[in-house]
Structure 1
Amino acid sequence: MMEKDTRQNGELILAQSGPATLLSPMDSMAELNRLLREQLAQDDASPTPSSVVVTGPSQTTVSVSDCATEVVTSMLLANDDKKVQIQLQQLFEKLLVIYQQADISIADRKRQYIAAHGLVMAPDQCVTTQTDTHRVQAFIRGIDAALTKLDREQPEGSLRLLYPACGPFAPLLLPLLTYYRVNERFGRQRLQVTLIDMQPGAVASLQTLVQELQIESFIESILCMDGCDYYSERPFDLLVVEAMQHGFSREGHLPLVQHLVSQLSPHGLMIPARVLITAQLAVGQYEFIERWRNRSANELPLSVERIELGEILSLTKESVSQLQTLNLGIDSSLVTCNQVTIPIIAADLGPQLLLVCTQVFTFGLDKVDEYQSGITHPLPDSQVCINFTPSDPKAGDLLLESGDQIKFYYRLNGLPGFLATKGNA
């Protein structure tokens, strides 16, 4: 029998404590309201990147091309994370000055909305991705390794790379292209890149940065459109997509991959090569507060004090074509994911919080593990109540017990994300 207990308040925990700022699970209307409130308040809010003034010696002594080349050199050597972090910050400051001075309207910098396939973030909110050390390094190393492999195996013609939803800085690629130019890797026309973003402000920024970094010879086109609407007459050799937030939520990564992977050549590669999402149980107080207060606890493997339920979804170039989609009506589609079993949980462990956990494997051995980046922080689903009945029940609560099955689906429309349901025994 279920015991009466108080819900673990995952939202409050995440808003007040933990290693980074995480967003709590919301329904689409609540999230839309939050975005609208943000947009209404933006003009009076604290300074955004477009109004920050960057000062210091990094502005005047080293060029933006030199900064990009130095940080990529350090990344490819992969021997000093602290050095990479400092160099990425210096590169960000250079890029930010260029972005601030570009001819981009305030409206185009701040525009943020929910499109058919997910959240489209304002350019002002995207620029700081450049400082996400583990994410940027894993992708740049992965892209370099993939291009090296393609260059070796396909010695003739051009290698075509597609990078949709790339944002105003295209942070996972532009520094690498600058490094290639300076080091004379990939001669003229050998590597051809198509950049796509829905935001006019992002496209204007990209056009400016490509000129500043002197990498025009690598750019086939820069397009302002939804990547889910893009079709190419010629296949691509490498698809680079990173459009997700923690818990593989909110942005349109999966719809983009579903649409674009068919435009890869037979030998084509996708980065990340694999996105692995698992379901796990944890005590919220320990996972998001005690673990980070207690250094010795933080050094323990994440598996300690967690109960792993299993894989929800593994997204690869091969698996994406095998996904089954349920169409529930106009603009309402779900991808069928895996089912997991809740084991017998000792009563003294207390109420368990369902976590959606993500690992991103870019290429080869390079990956982004849990908590290394904003995109790999675990996302709690506080509406799933296991072995307890909440004292403050809410619409949409899912009451489950040990031994029950959890069947997962993935929403493709509005705000993408996982939907947990009671599965069949």
Structure 2
Amino acid sequence: MNEMDTLSQHSTFINQRDSSVGFAEPRVDPLLQYSIREQLKALTTEKLTDCQRRANLCESMTLAVTTLLQQETADHSVLTKIFQAMYENVLQSMAKAEISQQSLTHEYLSPTGYVMSPLHCRTTIKDIYRLHGFIRGLDRAIKDRLKSDAVVRILYPACGPFAPLVLPLIQYYQSNDLVTEQQVQITLVDVQPGAIQAVKQLVSDLSIQGFIDDIVEADATLYHPEQTFDLLVLEAMQHGFTKEGQLSIAKHLIQFLSVDGVLIPQQISVHGMMVRGEIEFNQQWQDSAFSHSINLRKKAVKDRVELGEIFQINRSSLLALEEVTLPSQVKMVKANRISLPVGIEDMKDRILAVYATLNVYSDESISEYDSGITHPRPDMTFYVDTPPRSAQPEHFLAFSGDDIQFYYQLTGLPGFVALKADSEA
């Protein structure tokens, strides 16, 4: 497969350094340097009083959410400026929290997935269309619940330093007197001490403490609240539904949703397709100002060989999920089976790309390329119709017409494993 051999594999960026505890520490020098630069920029910013700093933060956050809720399709360049301003203001809040360098840059592999450092995951609040889908969806979900419930209880695990899928909306509610703290109560959970420190500072800066029931430093896969919740807001994903512990967290916390509670996103659908990398990842974006589903080129979409859905995650599927434990103690869950099509002349030159789409709530969704979490991820270990030039143990070879069963592994680096259906145990 020529293109397979010329494209580099997506890197495994974490090196195991302490196998005795099962965690891994990445090299943090680049993060340290970036952190120092950001702090220096903050120091040289025009001096503001604390009151001015908080006012700028609240105004920028309210403007961002107002734009998302009132303009379904705002100009991208306008959104970019608005979100950049909000980002710079929340960075000021993070600087105010005086998080230690160690807490700011600490990241590792947990038994269920990669745990990003607070510094690394700070940019989620700049992912415009991720926030567009979640904030619009959450707003509708809250308003729907308030039609029948006096109070809506929200659980937000893996919230990170800014809890970006929830707190901007709460600030908007408060600034416009739309929803009171008696109507919405939020529990924020994160395993990173630095993230907890930052989100506490942000809550204080926004003066929304009354909406916050609790802020808990805990591993979300082990957290046991003493109450049930109406909404479970969870986004711990990376592209291709790999690396982070979205499934493990959801599988554990779904038990704490009320009988009629709602998981947000309501459904994650993971699909596979065989693509020509040059067309899919390069040519179709050469004339686009930004990557987004609205900018997909018809020629590129037509060139794809869609394989169908390989995994689906929603409340029902989570409750029915069955684990398989291998002799090595690795836990797996069975995903979907697909058939590789026949009659595709250039199949041997194509790459498997895996992408997720999210139905956040009602008709609010996040499609392929809309966000970092829905960007298609090439699988450079999956070969069809021709073996790799230099075969490695991780390589998988299949042929047109084969039935492929996908499994999902629940390990420190979660992801999909393919197996020929006729070779299943």
In the superposition, the TM-score normalised over structure 2's length comes to 0.89
Matched, 1:119 2:117: no
Alignment CA distance shift 1:246-1:348 (3 Å): closer
The Cα of 1:367 is off from its aligned counterpart by 1.1
The residue number in structure 2 matching 1:228 is 221
Distance 1:36 1:382 in 2: 25
The residue number in structure 2 matching 1:390 is 388
Note if contact 2:284-2:300 (Cα within 8 Å) is conserved in structure 1: no
Secondary structure of 1:123's match? coil
Alignment CA distance shift 1:348-1:327 (3 Å): closer
Amino acid at match of 1:254: L
The Cα of 1:422 is off from its aligned counterpart by 1.4
Residue 250 of structure 1: which of 240, 243, 246 is its match? 243
- 1:129-278 aligned within 5 A: 129-154=124-149, 156=150, 158-278=151-271
* CA deviation vs aligned residue, 1:259-295 (integer Å, no higher than 9, x gap): 1111111111110011000111111222122222366
Secondary structure of 1:304's match? helix
Distance 1:10 1:163 in 2: 41
- 1:18-29 aligned within 5 A: 24=10, 26=12
Give the total of aligned pairs.
408
Distance 1:310 1:345 in 2: 17
Matched, 1:80 2:68: no
The residue number in structure 2 matching 1:406 is 404
Alignment CA distance shift 1:49-1:152 (3 Å): farther
Identity between Structure 1 and Structure 2 (%): 33
The residue number in structure 1 matching 2:361 is 363
Per chain length, whose mean CA-contact separation is higher, i.e. which structure has more relative contact order (CA < 8 Å, sep 6+)?
1
Alignment CA distance shift 1:184-1:350 (3 Å): same
The residue number in structure 2 matching 1:289 is 282
Alignment CA distance shift 1:105-1:90 (3 Å): same
Amino acid at match of 2:117: A
The Cα of 1:41 is off from its aligned counterpart by 5.3
Note if contact 1:162-1:193 (Cα within 8 Å) is conserved in structure 2: yes
Alignment CA distance shift 1:413-1:37 (3 Å): closer
Note if contact 1:142-1:363 (Cα within 8 Å) is conserved in structure 2: yes
Range moving further from structure 2, 331-340 or 76-85 = 76-85
* CA deviation vs aligned residue, 1:241-272 (integer Å, no higher than 9, x gap): 00000001100100111011111111111100
Amino acid at match of 1:356: V
Range moving further from structure 2, 342-351 or 55-64 = 55-64
The Cα of 1:365 is off from its aligned counterpart by 1.4
Alignment CA distance shift 1:109-1:348 (3 Å): closer
Alignment CA distance shift 1:305-1:79 (3 Å): closer
